[in-house]
């Protein structure tokens, strides 16, 4: 949760208060201000938080096993089971596929916003 909240909080703190006042003075409702002012300006924080969460969750198999029981299948759990059964080539192939999918997701997310602007 913190890996998502902190980047969003950081980007929302950079929003100029006068923009929210201008939206209110223009007659925008609270929802219109949220969707037309706050969300577009905090989009970089949402994307950065999503990148953090995706990279952490894709390889996490311990928490999924504890929270959902050992019968829940995730990619990390499948790779862990394959290595425990000494099926190293299949586990390595699945790890490369997982890495490729995560890198493609991150590449797609970084195309949506300019992350250098947030740093």
Tokens 């980007």 sit on residue: 11
**Count of structural domains within the chain:** 1
| Encoded tokens for 117 | 């602007």
More confident residue, 117 or 25: 25
Radius of gyration of the chain (CA): 20
Asked if residue 119 has pLDDT above 70, the reply is no
The pLDDT of 36-45, averaged and rounded, is 90
Q: What range does the domain containing 55 cover?
A: 2-118
Q: Which candidate, 49, 39, 48, 47, places its Cα nearest to that of 12?
A: 39
**CA–CA dist 6, 113 (Å, integer):** 18
Distance (Å, rounded) from C-alpha 28 to C-alpha 34? 9
Tokens of 91: 């586990």
pLDDT band (50, 70, 90) for residue 1: confident
For the chain, the maximum distance between any two Cα atoms, rounded to a whole number of angstroms, is: 66
Residue 70 has pLDDT above 70, yes or no: no
The yes-or-no verdict on residue 67 having pLDDT over 80 is no
Q: Which of residues 70 and 87 earns the better pLDDT score? A: 87
Dump the DSSP string for 24-38.
Answer: HHTT--HHHHIIIII
CATH number of the domain that residue 52 is part of: 1.10.3720.10
pLDDT, residue 118, reads 63
């Amino acid at each position: 949760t913190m890996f998502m909240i902190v980047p969003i909080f950081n980007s929302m703190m950079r929003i100029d208060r006068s923009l929210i006042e201008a939206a209110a003075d223009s007659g925008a409702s609270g929802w219109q201000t949220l969707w037309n002012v706050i969300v577009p300006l905090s989009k970089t924080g949402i994307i950065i938080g999503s990148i953090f969460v995706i990279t952490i969750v894709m390889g996490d198999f311990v928490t999924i096993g504890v929270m959902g029981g050992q019968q829940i299948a995730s990619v990390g759990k499948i790779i862990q089971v394959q290595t425990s059964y000494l099926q190293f080539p299949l586990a390595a192939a699945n790890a490369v596929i997982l890495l490729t999918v995560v890198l493609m997701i991150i590449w797609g997310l970084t195309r949506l916003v300019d992350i250098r602007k947030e740093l």
